[in-house]
Structure 1
Amino acid sequence: MPVKVFYTSVSCSTEIKKKQQQILDVLSAKKVEFEAIDISQDSNTKDEMREMANDPTALPPQICNGNEHCGNYEAFLGGN
């Protein structure tokens, strides 16, 4: 299963937008196969992201390897 990156295309936070874009850029540069999933298109997708993160208030970006939650932006930076 490819890496899943949960993001939102609708956000007024420039910080969230920058974090999301950096993750997508790094994965693309390293030629990592990933699926970008926009949580703003469906509330069920946001619920799925939060369930996988085991955090009812989790915000994007969140990263999963298949169905295993790997972390958020800060966790990504630590493992990059």
Structure 2
Amino acid sequence: MSSIKIYYTSVSGSREVKQRQEEVTRILDIYKIKYELIDVSVSFKVLEEMRMKVSTTALPPQIFNGQEYCGDYEMFHEAKENKEILKFLKME
């Protein structure tokens, strides 16, 4: 089984980014879904890796199931509203 990976940042001046990251991890915890946090603020290489997989302007959080891209916060939030978290995470 693939693992859920969340590219996030531990250092951000944006309250919105922090709130979005917290919501994603909180929802995954509620669903008891294990995930790995990958901190893009650790090195530019990690940030570059995330952006190569998604887009050059992508901001955290970005969510993957293994190597497969699931989506960003907006897509996650929409899935949550539609009660389709497992579908969004490609776990169905």
For Structure 1 versus Structure 2, the TM-score category normalised by the shorter chain is over 0.9
Structure 2 unpaired stretches of 5+ = 81-92
| Larger relative contact order (Cα-Cα within 8 Å, sequence gap ≥ 6) | 1
Displacement of 1:28 in angstroms is 0.9
Residue of structure 2 equivalent to 1:59:
59
Deviation >4 Å, runs of 4+? none
Q: Residues 52 and 68 of structure 1 are in contact (CA less than 8 Å); yes or no, is this contact kept in structure 2?
A: no
Q: What amino acid maps onto 2:36 in structure 1?
A: E
What TM-score does the superposition give when structure 1 sets the normalisation length? 0.94
Question: What is the root-mean-square deviation of aligned Cα atoms in Å?
Answer: 0.8
Deviations 1:23-79 (A, max 9, x none): 0010011111110111000111111111111x1111101001110111110000111
Larger radius of gyration: 2
Residue of structure 1 equivalent to 2:70:
70
Q: Residues 6 and 38 of structure 1 are in contact (CA less than 8 Å); yes or no, is this contact kept in structure 2?
A: yes
Number of matched pairs: 79
In structure 2, C-alpha distance between the alignment counterparts of 1:46 and 1:34, rounded to whole Å? 18
What TM-score does the superposition give when structure 2 sets the normalisation length? 0.82
Give the percent of matched residue pairs that are identical in Structure 1 and Structure 2. 43
Displacement of 1:5 in angstroms is 0.5
Secondary structure of the corresponding residue to residue 57 of structure 1: coil
